[in-house]
Structure 1
Amino acid sequence: MNPLVDVFRNALKTIRKTLKDRFVAGEPANVLVRQQADQIDALLRRIWHEFLLAEMPGIALIAVGGYGRGELHPGSDVDLLILLGEKAGPSSERKIGEFIAMLWDIGLDVGHSTRTLRECETEARADITIATNLMEARLIEGPSVLFGALRECAEPNNIWPSRAFFEAKWSEQQVRHHKFHNTANNLEPNVKEGPGGLRDIQVIGWVAKRHFGADTLRDLVTHGFLTESEYQCLMIGQDFLWNVRFALHILTGRREDRLLFDYQRTLAEEFGYRDQDHNLAVEHFMKQYYRTIGELSRLNEMLLEIFQEAILYPDSCAKVIPIGRHFRARNGFLEVANDRVFKRYPFALLELFLILQQHRTLVGVRATTIRLIRDHRYLIDDGFRNDIRARSLFIEILRQPRGVTGALRRMHRYGILGTYLPVFKAIIGQMQYDLFHVYTVDEHTLFVVSNLRAFAAIDHHEKFALCARVFGEIPKQELLYIAGLFHDIAKGRGGDHSRLGARDAMEFCLQHGFSQYDSGLVAWLVEHHLLLSTTSQRKDIHDPEVINSFAAEVGDRVHLDYLYLLTVADIRGTNPDLWNDWRHILLRDLYEATLLALRRGLENPIQQTERIMETKEEALCILQREGLLPNENRKARIEALWQSVGTDYFLRYRSGEVAWHARAITDGRDRVPPIVLVRKGRAGIDIFVYTQCQDHLFQASTSILDRLGMTIQDARIVTADNGMMLNSYVVLEASEGSIIDGGGKYQEREREIREILTRELRSPQDAVSPVSRLPRRQLRHFSTDTTVLFHENDVNRYTIMEISTSDQPGLLSRIAEILTCCETRLHKAKIATFGERAEDIFFITDKNNRLLTESMQECLQKKVIDKLA
């Protein structure tokens, strides 16, 4: 080994350690990244001279990429171009190879290429990335004449003129943003490549350099394409992101640009954030992060649009059409009539968005006008908010038949929405440190309004038929949008965000001229926006008592309709993986049952006996249509079955399910239990098991289904008087959160489930096996305290056990084992997962169908906490 390897390796270690120590001591990354580049320059020169490359004519060592800009983070690649005047001979090739090998040997992460001038030009002409690298080239060692020739061949008059360069970079950015779902607010954002990240700042610099010859962003201020405040905003944002990226590289010991959950808490502490009463330190840190990249993303959008107008749409070919007193259209883009419009008529800051909604030919706002909007936001003060013209314009925007979502999103991007509504400004960038809420509160809020608007779209009428019908019948759609805007407005303040938000909503509505009734309706929706979802997920919605109680709380159909629409939009806007057919059916069933109860009148509630009778009669009609009831033996078996299962059975199942069970159990064939039925249901795969009553049956079923990759959404257990059990499950594919698509694949899956359950449930105690699946990576960074609560349902004589704990593979199987161990009988289970948190509810009794004693509850609580905590 070359003895110089240790010398240079130690020199590199010293550089890295010194910079790390200085960063930990508080020195900013914007100083250190440049000093690291300088020190690596010096190290490379020493090594270059050691291999006598400096003595060879026609060869230069050039820094490119980020290193070429003089920016080098701890884990960044050192991108090098070894430039040759002519093709290298054998001796030169050997020395270059030894030089690169030395760099790898000492621990330097090198990205390198060796090219002649001609090769550089040819490849740069064909590849925008190579052309961009050459634009940032910086000579480290070698002939300046050769380097000058490289700069000349990369000029816009030779390759990639500014128009083509801009279009390529614009397209490149769109593709990159699409990889991150076109949002800056991902749970685990990429500091460099994500929207609003460092790459977005670099794109501005590249385009400016290509078009204006600007070497720095500061030069754009001189050119009049960047204001001083915009420049400062870019620099502050860049410094913040550089600090985050520098810290990430030090923390991980490598190039890591993803701000994963693994690192967020640690970085928050290192940057000095502390837990407070209502928000965790990591939430404060991430809020600043999201606000920073949000502002950078908006600046990137505006500045690229300014470049677009300058490069692609010169004013010489402009077609200008006046629109009202304050605006005009230029090539399809809206602009102010003059630069003094907002100063003279501040309410025009809102009027602009209304005009965009009302003129379909307009495709956007001119970038120069966007800049004026941003520069005049200071005019939106209490006087502005109290101006009847401003208030009327804001409500008129919400009342428009089209463009409501687009207007609100554009107002948010331009900084108007948060300025007009200070309560909205407080939630910008607000995140909740969990896996359930995948968007910041402001982004979630706008998704909810977008979902509400979508119910009016024709292409949603099939997928959300009930929502579309209800949406078309509500009297004032703007009230629904306001409820959507305010439903989470108080997140992050502490206290009950629903109640606090209801007060804000009431105040807003009254200030904007709504009646006391309309204002009260919006406030009620905000305060109770979780009522429908929690009732559907946590209570037995087949129980008439539950429906009657819920109907009384809602009060009338108007409140029910608005609440149903808001709930569906809220769930769909919380997490893309949260909405599925199961939740859809739960909400729809609860809505329809409540609507029926309201139509009957709250003074005439549905009785259990009435419901039982209706279910039996409807099931008999189904069986009669199938020609089964004329068979007296079959009819007798059905009556005996129904007699054995008890009345509670008919409250838990719909008439179609009752007929399905009866048909299979009484078909007259001499089948040995278990009888297992599997079919595609309304909201998942329906599984029915009819077998002898025995211990471990539920535990075995959960274990088998877990091994099959299924998640149980609902479980209903009925023990008949004849010693048989009727167990039903609604399951979904764990990996998809839905049913497998495709007829052939589904039929194969159905057969697999039926055959395995039939075989293994003959001996359930042998079917129980530990789950070997590992939890998702993200789950390791969240923990939910395990809690067990008990309360009683005196009407149906159940003890209700509510378990909240961390989601984990095999969770339900472990709970089933505990239920068996404590000699309890399960009647129903409702299973729900919210990100990293599982909230499961079990309706149980003792073996004699009595409420659990206090000692049995203590047994369950202790075992659950011991096994799951």
Structure 2
Amino acid sequence: MSMHGRLAAPTVAADCLDLGQIGEQEALGLIALDGAKAANELSSLKDFLRQAADGANEVLAERFWAGQDVLDIVHARAWAMEQLLLLAWRRLVPFMDDIGLVAVGGFGRGELHPGSDVDLLILLDDAIGDRMPRQEIEAFVQLLWDAGFYLGHSVRTVTQCAEEAEKDIVTTTALMESRLLAGEISLLDRMLAITSKEEIWPAPAFFEAKSAEQTQRHERYHGTAYNLEPNIKEGPGGLRDIQTISWVTRRHFEADHLHGLVTHEFLTDSEYHDLVGGKRFLWRVRYALHLLAGRNEDRLLFDFQREIASRFGFEDSETILAVEQFMQLYYRTVMRLERLNESLLQLFQEAFLKRDEDEIRDLNERFRARNGYLELRRPEGFAEQPSALMELFELLARDETLLGVTAATIRAIRDHLYLVNEEFRNDPAVNEHFLELLRQPEGVYTQLRRMNRYGLLAAYLPAFGNIVGRMQYDLFHVYTVDQHTLFVVRNLRRFAYGKYRERFPHARKVFKRIAKPELLYLAAIFHDIAKGRGGRHSELGAVDAEEFCKKLDIEPAERIMVAWLVRYHLLMSQTAQRKDLSDPVNIQDFAETVGNTRYLDHLYLLTVADIAGTDPKLWNNWKNKLIWDLYLAAGQALRQGLENPIKRATRIRETRSSALTRLLRKGVAPEAINHHWGSLPETAFWRLSPDQLEWTTEAVVASGNRRTIAMRPVQPHGVSELLVSVPDQDGLFATITSVLDEMGMDVMSARVLTTEDGLSYDLFQVMDQHGHVINPIDSDELVQRLDAATDEGRPRDFVKRKGPRRLRHFDTDTVVTFKKDPDRGGTVVHLTCHDKPGLLSRIAAAIVGQGLQVHSARIATFGEKVEDTFLVSGPDHEPLKDPEMEALEERIKKYLD
């Protein structure tokens, strides 16, 4: 059904165009393209169109920022551009019965955001033949481009439209929203008739194609609308989802407006207002985005989030930033829209794809399955037995044959959330249903996600409701807190499945030892539940977890473990990434905090699931190695007994023995091994693994104990190892890190030693910028560059290149702390600062520039923030004195800032 005719001028469009001037321009008549004055006339018209469009856009932008209704603004902009298009058409294309100018797509709906394309169809009669004014049409299109219009256009006959529409659902969709701007209405009517549902894409087929299109689109955006920089148009719950509903409505009911769904009893009035309100909010955000970006930008980028929040009136509070408040409103809006979209598409499916005879299976007194979808047997079911609200999700998880929930029951859940009060939360039947859901072998994540989408999870756990849609304005957490929490549960579930063995190689083995996985899921649900409240979220969350476990009637020892896991959920990650795991003291400290292998197993699994659920790119082979090394070392310490800590002498003896056996097996001469090892400091034998000692020894012996720069990939760990053994020199560590920075390589850790022969013995673990091992070509180039740089022995300039776009929107104060470590003969320098290109080489230059020595480095990046740990000593190989620490802190800040 077409929207025949042109747009009426909205009130808000008043004075945005000078209609008198447009009339004067039109009165000038057709431009004779083959005439002598054509070039001047086209240039004059182009300038007029550009100036008029710019003026209209400026007026409408001012009115938008002043708070005028965005629905009116968007329609007003479409109206304004329509007047200018018609002027251009009338000045260039003579009137003919067999040619028409048609607005399609969003422009056909009368909607036009600042960066949106003006979608046009130049429609031709099939019999137009040689009478087609090709030159004039080409001039019209070129003129609009030259005048700065974003144009999307096609030139087709009526039959070509039908042929394209039959092949492509996108074309069909655009043509459905056709609106005649100029020409004979009969031409458009013929096109609409042969592309109607009676001819092609009947309503059921159209619905199925659009549903499939939406599913594919959602998958492209990771199945979640809750990314740091969501796409407000294409993501789940976005504008495209609303349009999908509109298109299906138009195709099936031939209704031009979503209110037709209320008339046909597919939507309640309340749902309709939710839908329109959500659309209005997303339109405000999109209009603001286009204005600020100066282009068609539908990603809510960090570049614009703060300014939009400010312009929309949000202000920072003590516990939550203005930008976080704005984004939480955004995420909650798209969650409501996603729920409405799901409910409506389910209703459409039930109506359009109705079977001749329903297949009904009774499940119990309250529920039945209709064609595979769970539904209430009686509309009063929830009111009569509120615990059925929770029972529904347990049934869905328990019965794998159930495909989902009927639309009427989804609506009933939403309408009965008022029943979820303290009496409901303390009802043993409700809590037993929830616990049984967590105990199911399948469907736990899916149903928790469904509970969250339908609003029950937030109602049942009010603390969880506080984190729904809550973002953390940083680059480390790429999802909202509630979505991250559910992803952690999903990862824990994946540990049980063989198909994720490659991504989580060790977790599956450990998971098999877990007797009650539901305790892990509870820890996951509560691990971040207190974020945004102020105070330590892990401590507050532990209290919440223990109280909730009491409601579930979980045994005291088990609820204590769940609370402990929430309290210490960051311990393993922080220890593995920030501390030297070759030092038995660090392992002993960690093991003493954990206490037993049962806690260790649970903490390991929760840690892996948490890291992998924070950012899909964050979990890699290097992180896997760090966490697994700590798990193994702590497990050994716990089995050996905490009263019998592993001593360094034992570590040294085991490392030497293992490496020696391997080297002799390879045919390396014993005297060469002994000569080389005799030059190494004792720390080498407890700070290097047997594998590292074997490889470095083999490389040095092969070079004749002279300059050795070697590199190898360590594929299982996802890193490359670099050995630099050259005559020691001032600033060597800074030189090496500078070359690595120049080549865009990231350092994960470094061990810096000096032999009795005066050679460096520096071992680095490095990755490329994508988190992979260094490829052979770059490895060879790095060795050559390092050979030249270490031979020159002169300071190098800092790397100067732009950092990633996202980093520019965050500030992290540089904080330097010190802790003396007499056992290792140095001082631990812990540095927190903003990430930037060349960061490590700047820090290294600051340290060595003060005449200090670096013995080890541990590099951890958390989004825009870097946390580096160095072991340094003074020229006397002793811990730093207070004046030295003060001077180093000042120097580091100077070099970084």
Alignment of 1:10-409 (within 5 A): 10-51=51-92, 53=94, 55-85=95-125, 86-87=127-128, 89-90=130-131, 92-312=133-353, 314-409=354-449
Equivalents in 1 of 2:488, 2:331: separation in Å?
Answer: 19
Match of 1:647 in 2: 682
Name the SS for the 1:433 alignment partner: coil
**1:40-91 deviation per Cα after TM superposition (whole angstroms, max 9, x unaligned):** 33344444444574x4333333221111111121222222223333426557
Equivalents in 2 of 1:462, 1:169: separation in Å?
Answer: 35
Once the 2 structures are TM-superposed, how far is the Cα of residue 844 of structure 1 from its aligned partner?
A: 0.2
- Decide whether aligned partners of structure 1 residues 126 and 677 sit closer, same or farther in structure 2, where only a CA change above 3 A counts: closer
Which moves more between the two structures, 327-336 or 446-455? Answer: 327-336
Read off the aligned partner of 2:881 and give its amino acid letter. Answer: T
Which moves more between the two structures, 847-856 or 455-464? Answer: 455-464
- Decide whether aligned partners of structure 1 residues 128 and 603 sit closer, same or farther in structure 2, where only a CA change above 3 A counts: same
Match of 1:716 in 2: 751
Read off the aligned partner of 2:728 and give its amino acid letter. Answer: C
Equivalents in 2 of 1:97, 1:685: separation in Å?
Answer: 58
Name the SS for the 2:121 alignment partner: strand
Equivalents in 1 of 2:140, 2:389: separation in Å?
Answer: 61
Equivalents in 2 of 1:105, 1:626: separation in Å?
Answer: 73
Equivalents in 1 of 2:122, 2:446: separation in Å?
Answer: 50
Match of 2:877 in 1: 849
Once the 2 structures are TM-superposed, how far is the Cα of residue 203 of structure 1 from its aligned partner?
A: 0.6
Read off the aligned partner of 1:634 and give its amino acid letter. Answer: A
**1:379-436 deviation per Cα after TM superposition (whole angstroms, max 9, x unaligned):** 2221111111101100111111222112211212222211211111111111111111
- Decide whether aligned partners of structure 1 residues 841 and 321 sit closer, same or farther in structure 2, where only a CA change above 3 A counts: same
Equivalents in 1 of 2:473, 2:257: separation in Å?
Answer: 37
Read off the aligned partner of 2:772 and give its amino acid letter. Answer: S
Read off the aligned partner of 1:575 and give its amino acid letter. Answer: D
Match of 2:468 in 1: 428
Once the 2 structures are TM-superposed, how far is the Cα of residue 671 of structure 1 from its aligned partner?
A: 5.3
Match of 2:526 in 1: 486
Once the 2 structures are TM-superposed, how far is the Cα of residue 259 of structure 1 from its aligned partner?
A: 1.5
Equivalents in 2 of 1:462, 1:188: separation in Å?
Answer: 29
What 5-or-longer segments of structure 1 have no aligned partner?
741-745
Aligned residues of 2:740 and 2:746 also touching (Cα < 8 A): yes
**1:830-850 deviation per Cα after TM superposition (whole angstroms, max 9, x unaligned):** 011111111111100012211
Equivalents in 2 of 1:636, 1:481: separation in Å?
Answer: 53
Match of 2:32 in 1: none
- Decide whether aligned partners of structure 1 residues 126 and 634 sit closer, same or farther in structure 2, where only a CA change above 3 A counts: closer
**1:693-739 deviation per Cα after TM superposition (whole angstroms, max 9, x unaligned):** 211221221122233332110100112333222111111122x2022
Equivalents in 1 of 2:96, 2:780: separation in Å?
Answer: 74
- Decide whether aligned partners of structure 1 residues 68 and 463 sit closer, same or farther in structure 2, where only a CA change above 3 A counts: closer
Q: 2:631 aligns with which of 577, 588, 591?
A: 591
Once the 2 structures are TM-superposed, how far is the Cα of residue 168 of structure 1 from its aligned partner?
A: 1.9
Name the SS for the 1:765 alignment partner: coil
What 5-or-longer segments of structure 2 have no aligned partner?
1-39
Read off the aligned partner of 1:545 and give its amino acid letter. Answer: V
Equivalents in 2 of 1:207, 1:197: separation in Å?
Answer: 16
Aligned residues of 2:121 and 2:154 also touching (Cα < 8 A): yes
Aligned residues of 1:674 and 1:761 also touching (Cα < 8 A): no
**1:549-598 deviation per Cα after TM superposition (whole angstroms, max 9, x unaligned):** 11111122222111111111100110112112221111111111111111
- Decide whether aligned partners of structure 1 residues 615 and 9 sit closer, same or farther in structure 2, where only a CA change above 3 A counts: closer
Once the 2 structures are TM-superposed, how far is the Cα of residue 150 of structure 1 from its aligned partner?
A: 2.9
Aligned length: 854
- Decide whether aligned partners of structure 1 residues 208 and 605 sit closer, same or farther in structure 2, where only a CA change above 3 A counts: same
Once the 2 structures are TM-superposed, how far is the Cα of residue 747 of structure 1 from its aligned partner?
A: 4.9
Read off the aligned partner of 1:387 and give its amino acid letter. Answer: D
Match of 1:672 in 2: 706
Match of 2:735 in 1: 700
Equivalents in 1 of 2:505, 2:91: separation in Å?
Answer: 76
Equivalents in 2 of 1:781, 1:508: separation in Å?
Answer: 39
Once the 2 structures are TM-superposed, how far is the Cα of residue 666 of structure 1 from its aligned partner?
A: 4.2
Match of 1:812 in 2: 840
- Decide whether aligned partners of structure 1 residues 346 and 676 sit closer, same or farther in structure 2, where only a CA change above 3 A counts: same
Read off the aligned partner of 2:794 and give its amino acid letter. Answer: Q
Aligned residues of 2:709 and 2:722 also touching (Cα < 8 A): no
TM-score normalised to structure 2 length: 0.91
Equivalents in 2 of 1:769, 1:349: separation in Å?
Answer: 65
Equivalents in 2 of 1:376, 1:787: separation in Å?
Answer: 51
- Decide whether aligned partners of structure 1 residues 62 and 91 sit closer, same or farther in structure 2, where only a CA change above 3 A counts: closer
Which moves more between the two structures, 217-226 or 322-331? Answer: 322-331
Match of 1:743 in 2: none
Which moves more between the two structures, 795-804 or 91-100? Answer: 91-100
Match of 1:829 in 2: 857
- Decide whether aligned partners of structure 1 residues 651 and 157 sit closer, same or farther in structure 2, where only a CA change above 3 A counts: same
Equivalents in 2 of 1:116, 1:657: separation in Å?
Answer: 72
Name the SS for the 1:547 alignment partner: helix
Aligned residues of 1:637 and 1:666 also touching (Cα < 8 A): no
Once the 2 structures are TM-superposed, how far is the Cα of residue 196 of structure 1 from its aligned partner?
A: 1.5
Once the 2 structures are TM-superposed, how far is the Cα of residue 97 of structure 1 from its aligned partner?
A: 3.8
Once the 2 structures are TM-superposed, how far is the Cα of residue 749 of structure 1 from its aligned partner?
A: 5.0
Name the SS for the 1:473 alignment partner: coil
Aligned residues of 1:710 and 1:731 also touching (Cα < 8 A): yes
Equivalents in 1 of 2:502, 2:149: separation in Å?
Answer: 58
Equivalents in 2 of 1:104, 1:691: separation in Å?
Answer: 63
- Decide whether aligned partners of structure 1 residues 94 and 794 sit closer, same or farther in structure 2, where only a CA change above 3 A counts: same
Read off the aligned partner of 1:765 and give its amino acid letter. Answer: R
Read off the aligned partner of 2:357 and give its amino acid letter. Answer: C
Match of 1:761 in 2: 790
Name the SS for the 2:880 alignment partner: coil
**1:611-646 deviation per Cα after TM superposition (whole angstroms, max 9, x unaligned):** 3333333333334444556x5x336414xx34x433
Read off the aligned partner of 1:477 and give its amino acid letter. Answer: P
- Superposition CA RMSD, Å: 2.2
**1:259-304 deviation per Cα after TM superposition (whole angstroms, max 9, x unaligned):** 1111111111111111111222111111111111122122212211
Once the 2 structures are TM-superposed, how far is the Cα of residue 243 of structure 1 from its aligned partner?
A: 0.5
Match of 1:516 in 2: 556
Name the SS for the 2:401 alignment partner: coil
Aligned residues of 1:674 and 1:762 also touching (Cα < 8 A): no
Equivalents in 2 of 1:676, 1:291: separation in Å?
Answer: 53
Aligned residues of 2:61 and 2:291 also touching (Cα < 8 A): yes
Aligned residues of 1:547 and 1:597 also touching (Cα < 8 A): yes
Equivalents in 2 of 1:825, 1:681: separation in Å?
Answer: 31
Match of 1:687 in 2: 722
Once the 2 structures are TM-superposed, how far is the Cα of residue 9 of structure 1 from its aligned partner?
A: 3.6
Aligned residues of 1:678 and 1:753 also touching (Cα < 8 A): no
Aligned residues of 1:674 and 1:692 also touching (Cα < 8 A): no
Equivalents in 2 of 1:679, 1:336: separation in Å?
Answer: 59
Read off the aligned partner of 2:672 and give its amino acid letter. Answer: R
Equivalents in 1 of 2:286, 2:299: separation in Å?
Answer: 9
Q: 1:794 aligns with which of 804, 808, 822?
A: 822
Which moves more between the two structures, 321-330 or 494-503? Answer: 321-330
